[in-house]
Amino acid sequence: MTIDDKIKYIDDYKKAKNAATGSKYDANSNVTEKNLATLQCELGKKDLIDVNRRITCDYLTKLYGKETADAYLDDLKNHIIYRHDETALFPYCVSISLYPFLLHGLTNLGGSSLPPKHADSFMGGVINLIYLVAAQFAGAVSTPELLTYLDHFLRIDYGNDYMGHLDDNLEAFGNRRKTLRTKIEDMFQQFVYSVNQPAGARNYQSPFTNIAYFDRYYFENIFKDFVFPDGDQPCWESTSRLQKMFMEWFCEERTHALLTFPVETANILVKSTDHIDGDFPETLDRDINWDATQPKRDVNDYILRHMVRKADGRYYYYADADMADFICHMDAKGHCPFVYQSDSVDALASCCRLRNEIKDNVFSTSLGAGGIETGSKCVITANINRIVQNWDRDKDDYLTVRIGKSRYLLGKKASIAVYDRRTGKEEKQTAETVFGDVKNYAISDDAVKALSDCRLD
């Protein structure tokens, strides 16, 4: 955009009805207000898009050649793909551990806060931490350990049995009484309303915040060898009740205000068996995590109501019956967290699309790695609708061919390195020419390798 273009854009933005209609490039659904802060962000978007595309194309050219880099630009311009938050130089999203915060406070990030010692300072510090981290990322910041760590500080302040004293009075002044339940709910309120406020360092976006819930098996796998700096260890019994308390409070609070964050993900272990007769009910009754605060249910009734037989013939059920029932209870009330179901606790989800490998520190496609800590550099969405429509319109320009045991989808004008049996020379011909005269052309092994991206099966 030239200077004149930007001056005109300022005038147009002032007249726009809201931030979305006023945005010319990469409108953001997490921005609701239109003001000078959002205008300043909008002015630089086109320049940042150009910088991002230049950096990416230079790297693609270095790795794969100019043809691939040009194809990337062409797909962007023709809306075949969409790169999220292309108007930011930051990485996309991140899931962090709160343990360094317990050791150093915010000093490692340029802040002045020291490590928290009580529940109040922990919650206030976490909010500041999220804002500091979110200022350096275009997308989400996830703190999966939030409630586990909060439980630790609540046990420090109010004792290991604090969950049994929620309705005890903590303080009284005049006619005002504050119970421990009210105190904890005030912390919930402080956290939730803080992360839903616009952030100046994020162009007036609130920080996209994620938290996680764990069933008993996930909790024990993640925190089995974990020790807090003071020597304390995570406690499943109180953390489990704190998770439920937060979900119940959050569900009720959303009837009073529009609250987008935090985004919640529940991680639940699913087990399976190939039979439900014989001694299986007795084994299930012994192994399953029944809610200790409720009357024990009949295991055969649980099998009847909760087990599902899938196409593979096996019966599937939730290992932590209490957590699964509670999530269903919250769903029925209209509070619907994401649910990540896995047959192994070796992987967890802490966000809308990231899955962390806990056991093996490996990078699996775009899903992430490293236990609690993971993230993504950028996210690209394929426009399947546009791809299908283009294919239907241009299908006569393509060939489906078989080379060896595999099928390939090739443009008729695609250039292929071949051996001409008539002349005894190597040359390049179009796919349409080669497969229209297969008797006279032989495709080299190197050419087949080069076509790997076009392979259908």
Each residue's pLDDT expressed in tens, for the chain with a length of 457 residues: 788 888 888 888 888 888 777 787 777 666 777 888 888 888 888 889 999 999 999 999 999 999 999 999 999 999 999 998 898 889 988 889 999 999 999 999 998 899 999 999 999 999 999 999 999 998 889 999 999 999 999 999 999 999 999 999 888 777 778 899 999 999 999 999 999 998 766 777 889 999 999 999 999 988 988 999 999 999 999 999 999 999 999 999 999 999 999 999 999 998 887 766 666 666 666 666 655 555 556 666 666 566 777 777 787 888 888 898 899 999 999 998 988 888 888 777 766 555 555 555 443 333 333 467 888 888 899 998 888 888 778 777 777 888 777 887 788 888 888 888 898 888 988 888 888 888 888 888 888 877 777 777 6
Tell me which of 329, 352, 382 is where a domain ends: 382
Q: Are 289 and 321 in contact (CB under 8 A)?
A: yes
- pLDDT value, residue 291: 59
Query: Nearest CA to 267 among 346, 192, 333?
Result: 346
**Residue 307 and residue 448 share a domain:** no
- Flag whether 429 is in a domain: yes
- Flag whether 338 is in a domain: yes
- pLDDT value, residue 83: 92
- Flag whether 392 is in a domain: no
Q: How many domains does the chain have?
A: 2
- Flag whether 160 is in a domain: yes
**Residue 430 and residue 336 share a domain:** no
Domain that holds residue 182: 93-382
**Residue 448 and residue 326 share a domain:** no
Tell me which of 351, 382, 413 is where a domain ends: 382
**Residue 426 and residue 378 share a domain:** no
Question: For 269, how many CA atoms within 13 A lie in the half-sphere containing its CB?
Answer: 20
Sequence-separated (6 or more) residues with CB below 8 Å from residue 31: 19, 20, 38, 198, 203, 204, 205
Tell me which of 382, 412, 427 is where a domain ends: 382
**Residue 405 and residue 378 share a domain:** no
Q: Are 150 and 127 in contact (CB under 8 A)?
A: no
Helix ranges (H only) for 36-118 are 36-43, 45-64, 66-77, 99-104
- pLDDT value, residue 355: 53
**Residue 414 and residue 344 share a domain:** no
**Residue 449 and residue 332 share a domain:** no
**Residue 270 and residue 412 share a domain:** no
- Flag whether 64 is in a domain: no
- Flag whether 53 is in a domain: no
**Residue 307 and residue 449 share a domain:** no
- pLDDT value, residue 200: 67
**Residue 313 and residue 401 share a domain:** no
**Residue 422 and residue 305 share a domain:** no
**Residue 439 and residue 373 share a domain:** no
- Flag whether 24 is in a domain: no
Sequence-separated (6 or more) residues with CB below 8 Å from residue 138: 84, 85, 88, 90, 91, 92, 93
Structure tokens at 219: 């909790």
- Flag whether 137 is in a domain: yes
What are the beta bridge partners of residue 455? Answer: 408
- pLDDT value, residue 277: 66
Alpha-carbon span 416 to 410, nearest angstrom:
10
What's at 260, amino acid-wise? T
Sequence-separated (6 or more) residues with CB below 8 Å from residue 449: none
Cα of 203 vs its chain's centroid, Å: 21
Instruction: Dump the DSSP string for 327-353.
Output: HHHHHHTT---EEEEES-TTEEE-SSS
Alpha-carbon span 235 to 154, nearest angstrom:
11
